[in-house]
Amino acid sequence: MNILVIDDDASLRRTLRMSLEVLGHRAVEARDSAQALELLGHEPFEMALLDLRLAQEQGLDLLPRLLTLAPGLHVVIVTAYATIETAVEAMRRGAFDYLPKPFTPDQLRVILDRIAHMRRLQSQVDELEEQVRSVMPEVDLQTCEPKMREALDTAFKTAASEASILLRGESGTGKGVLARAIHARSPRAANPFVTLHCPSLSAELLESELFGHVEGAFTGAVRDTVGKVAAAEGGTLFLDEIGDLPLALQPKLLRLLQERCYERVGEAQTRASDVRILAATNCNLEAELAAGTFREDLYYRLNVIEVTVPPLRDRPSDILPLAEHLLRFFAKQNAKPISGFAEPVLDAILRYPWPGNIRELRNAIERGVILAAGPVVKLTDLPSQISNANQADPVVALTDLPSQIDNPNQAGPGTGAEQSSAGEPLTLDQIEAEHIRRIWASAATIEEAATKLGIDPSTLYRKRKKYGI
């Protein structure tokens, strides 16, 4: 490492520099704060050994200035006047560690090893983050649309607060992406962001997933397990599709919001929690309140700030910039020299209503890039429902549907089309239900069916319940 030794004692500086060089590091000496700040402004240092008393100066006063100039610097306070109070104050101001004089080479080596270990861990984290960025496109929250601008303004104005935020909007509009952006702009950004998908499990397993459980709490509980609440300690807990939270679990979530405490399943001990709650839904919560399937008190605790994310069809000027952003990402990811879209593709992208919103757009562009044989994505590279968008009916052609939908008079019992008579227009629900039946019948798993439909599994689950599939 490159280490800066800051001490007003010339002999001690020289001794420290020689010791560090013997251990394989490069050391540079500074006699006071002015020289230290000048050196730090001209070359990078990974670590600094800072004397608590620098002639007429205090090392603790210099510490925040060093960290402001070099935020990643590991500062170790060195002093012959070691007390608990000065150690606590040094750590509070950002020191990495505290080394009392006199110290041995072994004591110095232990601290150096700890810092080297921390740097390796940070390097691994940076590498993993880079790998994630190479798999998922970077978030693009730029918009020209007033509705989306209003949603972003509200979300970011409240990001620094501790208020609960309820994100509303159709599936695939980017509510989860916006939740992460809120977390990244909050004072909790350095702490975990944890997501719980509410429709994913039964009420009993969902409670264990949320709060954790102790060994023996239920069949299969072979060890103590921390839940999402504990995993998000100090950070943000994002409850996705909160409208599907089982009614039996809602009072316990309400208690977490009100009292900041909870119990693990099978345990009587009450645990304190420090998490901020963000929630999202594409359900009509007001209808669920009226039906008694969602608690009114929980609704108002979650809905301190409400942000509605508009569907992609209501953001027409954002569609092409988003498509081009995704094109650049997937072209780079797949190492393909694709420069843009053919003109008919641009027309089809603009005409298509994007019922699956940004998630469907992402899937379509990824497919187009993979299938493209030349420098541009052509109409034939896109899914058929999008490539047909430049026809008279941009949503769906009746010839693409089964015969009982195209000819409702010939529909047999149980087809779901017997209420239509010849010549009557079909409803969107009829078309959607039949399309989901076809995809569901041909898919091996719910995940495969959801991927083909361009929606998430929780949305497919609700739509199957709605249409009785």
Residue-wise over 151-163: b if at least 16 C-beta within 10 A, else e? bbeebbebbeeee
Residue in the structure block whose two tokens are 């053919």? 342
Triad 287, 202, 250: Cα angle to 5°? 50
Q: What is the pLDDT of residues 151-165, one digit of tens each?
A: 999 999 999 999 999
| 392 within domain boundaries | yes
Verify that 150 and 291 share a domain, yes or no. yes
| 324 within domain boundaries | yes
Verify that 321 and 463 share a domain, yes or no. yes
- Tell which of 310, 336, 361 closes a domain: 310
Verify that 191 and 121 share a domain, yes or no. no
Q: CA-CA distances (angstroms) from residue 363 to 187, 348, 352, 357, 369?
A: 33, 15, 14, 10, 10
pLDDT of residue 82: 62
| 388 within domain boundaries | yes
pTM: 0.61
Q: What is the pLDDT of residues 421-430, one digit of tens each?
A: 444 567 777 8
Verify that 450 and 321 share a domain, yes or no. yes
pLDDT of residue 243: 93
Q: How many domains does the chain have?
A: 3
Verify that 432 and 285 share a domain, yes or no. no
| 218 within domain boundaries | yes
pLDDT of residue 417: 39
Write the CATH number for 264: 3.40.50.300
Verify that 252 and 204 share a domain, yes or no. yes
Verify that 273 and 341 share a domain, yes or no. no
| 139 within domain boundaries | no
pLDDT of residue 62: 87
pLDDT of residue 401: 46
Write the CATH number for 124: 3.40.50.2300
239 contact partners, CB below 8 Å, separation of at least 6: 196, 198, 245, 253, 277, 278, 279, 280
pLDDT of residue 131: 65
pLDDT of residue 418: 40
- Tell which of 247, 275, 310 closes a domain: 310
| 8 within domain boundaries | yes
| 141 within domain boundaries | no
Q: If the chain, 469 residues long, is cut into consecutive pieces of 10 residues, what is the mean pLDDT of each piece? A: 89 88 89 88 88 80 87 86 75 84 84 88 76 62 90 96 96 93 94 89 85 82 84 95 93 95 90 95 94 95 96 92 92 92 90 92 94 94 84 41 43 41 64 86 76 76 78
Verify that 374 and 334 share a domain, yes or no. yes
Q: Cβ(346)–Cβ(320) under 8 Å?
A: yes
Q: What is the pLDDT of residues 355-412, one digit of tens each?
A: 999 999 999 999 999 999 999 999 999 998 998 865 534 333 333 444 444 444 443 4
| 135 within domain boundaries | no
Verify that 373 and 259 share a domain, yes or no. no
Verify that 319 and 305 share a domain, yes or no. no
Show the 3-state SS of the chain: CEEEEECCCHHHHHHHHHHHHHCCCEEEEECCHHHHHHHHHHCCCCEEEEECEECCEEHHHHHHHHHHHCCCCEEEEEECCCCHHHHHHHHHCCCCEEEECCCCHHHHHHHHHHHHHHHHHHHHHHHHHHHHHHHCCCCCCCCCCHHHHHHHHHHHHCCCCCCCEEEECCCCCCHHHHHHHHHHCCCCCCCCEEEEEHHHCCHHHHHHHHHEECCCCCCCCCCCEECHHHHCCCCEEEEECHHHCCHHHHHHHHHHHHHCEECCECCCCCEECCCEEEEEECCCHHHHHHHCCCCHHHHHHHCCEEEECCCHHHCHHHHHHHHHHHHHHHHHHCCCCCCEECHHHHHHHHHCCCCCHHHHHHHHHHHHHHHCCCCEECHHHCCHHHHHHHCCCCCCCHHHCCHHHHCHHHCCCCCCCCCCCCCCCCCHHHHHHHHHHHHHHHCCCHHHHHHHHCCCHHHHHHHHHHHCC
Verify that 444 and 342 share a domain, yes or no. yes
Give the structural domain span for 342.
314-467
- Tell which of 310, 332, 358 closes a domain: 310
Verify that 318 and 306 share a domain, yes or no. no
